[in-house]
């Protein structure tokens, strides 16, 4: 029989997450620590703006680059935040859409992309699919940005370094010192840095340092999915200085033939979202972070997350692998994701504490009981 599927489909592995969901199918009212989306809803005024945009007829295509009013607002914000003179901005279909466009615009088959391990799962699979080579640099056990390892990994085939801060799955926030050090490495070798800052609002110890403040060849990716619970609205943006203008222009060209544009009514709503102070929600998530950390630290090896809404927890010694522990957790009605989904190792599991305080307390109790085997 003639083969139908493209070879690239074999390079995408979703088995880790699928296994969790398969095991969870029969669970009733589980403690769901698996879902990476906020448990609160989109703020009322932002929903009202979206409804108004629909009713006012903003239901057609925008320009590929994005709605002019939103572009102008983001451009002014980027100028204020980073001091960029004339930034380039592209509205994308979520940060995930921005990632795909960036990889397609920059990475040739055989090009190397340096990524700290653990990593956001999409990086690996999309890069593999387009023929890029992932160069993973180990950041265990504290998940601090491995500056020396990244510097050592750079060679003539290096096309990009990816930073993700606050990070999924670890919740780690890059220090200013480490960000400056990576900027120096990238500057010496003239390498593009892609800074995935989708969780920037969830930073619990003050503003998150961004490499965009230190290095002009930074492709900045931000979005609204996590900060405003707009995960289903697919709203993000890419921004950069004149040093990456050509990258954003090519991303825009590719968007013409893929996503066409981001959803127009939600672009209008994003204008309202930029004006919404989310600090009350962030304060609530800091409390959730503290609940998870304080509840598990005596039974598990856990690094206190500085941001996002994840903790990357080492499986107890009795477990042969994190996957084995995850299977037992799911059998006890707690959904967590094995670390091998986000890493080349299978020693940790990811918790998303984007759920109610009641469920967090319930999950902590069950996990602590399981820690002893």
DSSP state of 8: G
User: What is the C-alpha separation between 348 and 325, in angstroms, rounded?
Assistant: 9
pLDDT number for residue 11: 83
Q: Please enumerate in sequence order all residues whose Cβ is within 8 A of that of 289, keeping only pairs 6 or more positions apart, or say none.
A: 171, 204, 304, 305, 309, 311, 353
Taken in order 124, 129, 130, 133, the sign of the CA dihedral is positive
Number of Cα atoms under 13 Å in the Cβ half of residue 188:
10
Given CATH 3.40.640.10, say whether it is the number of domain 58-275.
Answer: yes
Cβ atoms of residues 166 and 203 within 8 Å = yes
Taken in order 189, 194, 199, 202, the sign of the CA dihedral is positive
- Look at the block and give the residue holding tokens 């929903």: 47
Number of Cα atoms under 13 Å in the Cβ half of residue 337:
26
Quick one: which H or E segment has residue 135? strand 133-138
DSSP string for 179-239: HHHHHHHHHHHT-EEEEE-TTTT-BBTBSPP-GGGT-SSEEEEEESTTTTS-GGG--EEEE
pLDDT number for residue 43: 96
7-42+278-371 to CATH, choices 3.90.1150.10, 3.30.365.10, 1.10.10.60, 3.60.10.10 = 3.90.1150.10
DSSP state of 172: -
Averages of pLDDT over runs of 10 residues in the chain (373 residues) are 86 67 75 92 97 97 97 96 95 97 98 98 95 98 97 97 98 97 97 98 94 97 96 97 97 97 97 96 97 98 98 97 94 94 97 97 97 88
SS3 of 112, please?
A: strand
Taken in order 315, 317, 323, 328, the sign of the CA dihedral is negative
What residue ranges do the domains of the chain occupy? 7-42+278-371, 58-275
User: What is the C-alpha separation between 64 and 249, in angstroms, rounded?
Assistant: 11
Q: What is the arrangement of strands in the sheet containing 88-92, beginning at the earlier edge strand?
A: 88-92, 236-240, 218-223, 192-196, 158-164, 112-117, 133-138
Residue 9 CB coordination number (10 Å): 9
pLDDT number for residue 237: 98
Closest CA to 203 of 175, 231, 177: 175
pLDDT number for residue 334: 96
User: What is the C-alpha separation between 260 and 253, in angstroms, rounded?
Assistant: 9
pLDDT number for residue 41: 96
CA-to-CA separations, 312 to 134, 266, 308, in angstroms, rounded: 21, 32, 12
């Amino acid at each position: 029989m003639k083969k139908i599927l493209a070879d690239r489909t074999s390079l995408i592995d979703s088995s880790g997450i699928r296994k969790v969901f398969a095991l969870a199918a029969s669970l009733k009212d589980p403690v769901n620590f698996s879902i990476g989306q906020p448990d609160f809803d989109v703020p009322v005024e932002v929903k009202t703006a979206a409804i108004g945009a629909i009713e006012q007829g903003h239901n057609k295509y925008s320009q590929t680059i994005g709605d002019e009013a939103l572009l102008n607002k983001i451009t002014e914000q980027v100028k204020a935040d980073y001091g960029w003179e004339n930034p380039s901005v592209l509205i994308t279909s979520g940060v995930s859409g921005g990632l795909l466009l960036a990889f397609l615009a920059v990475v040739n088959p055989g090009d190397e992309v340096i990524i700290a391990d653990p990593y956001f799962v999409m990086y690996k699979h999309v890069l593999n699919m387009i023929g890029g080579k992932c160069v993973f640099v180990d950041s265990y056990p504290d998940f601090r940005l491995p500056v020396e390892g990244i510097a050592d990994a750079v060679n003539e085939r290096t096309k990009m370094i990816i930073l993700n801060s606050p990070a999924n799955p670890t919740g780690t926030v890059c220090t200013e010192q480490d960000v400056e050090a990576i900027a120096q490495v990238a500057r010496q070798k003239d390498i593009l840095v892609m800074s995935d800052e989708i969780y920037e609002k969830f930073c619990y110890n003050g503003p998150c340092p961004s490499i965009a403040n230190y290095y002009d060849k930074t492709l900045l990716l931000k979005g609204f999915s996590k900060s405003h619970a707009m995960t289903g609205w697919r709203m993000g943006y890419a921004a950069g200085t004149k040093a990456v203008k050509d990258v954003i222009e090519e991303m825009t060209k590719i968007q013409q033939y893929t996503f066409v544009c981001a959803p127009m009514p939600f672009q209008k709503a994003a204008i309202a979202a930029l004006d919404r102070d989310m600090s009350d929600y962030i304060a609530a998530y800091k409390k959730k972070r503290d609940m998870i950390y304080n509840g598990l630290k005596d039974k598990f090896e856990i690094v206190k997350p500085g941001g996002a809404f994840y903790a990357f927890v080492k499986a107890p010694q009795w477990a042969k692998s994190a996957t084995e522990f995850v299977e037992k957790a799911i059998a006890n009605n707690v959904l967590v994701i094995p670390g091998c989904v986000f890493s080349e190792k299978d020693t940790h599991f990811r918790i998303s504490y984007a759920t109610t305080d009641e469920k967090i307390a319930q999950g902590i109790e069950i996990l602590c009981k399981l820690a002893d085997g």
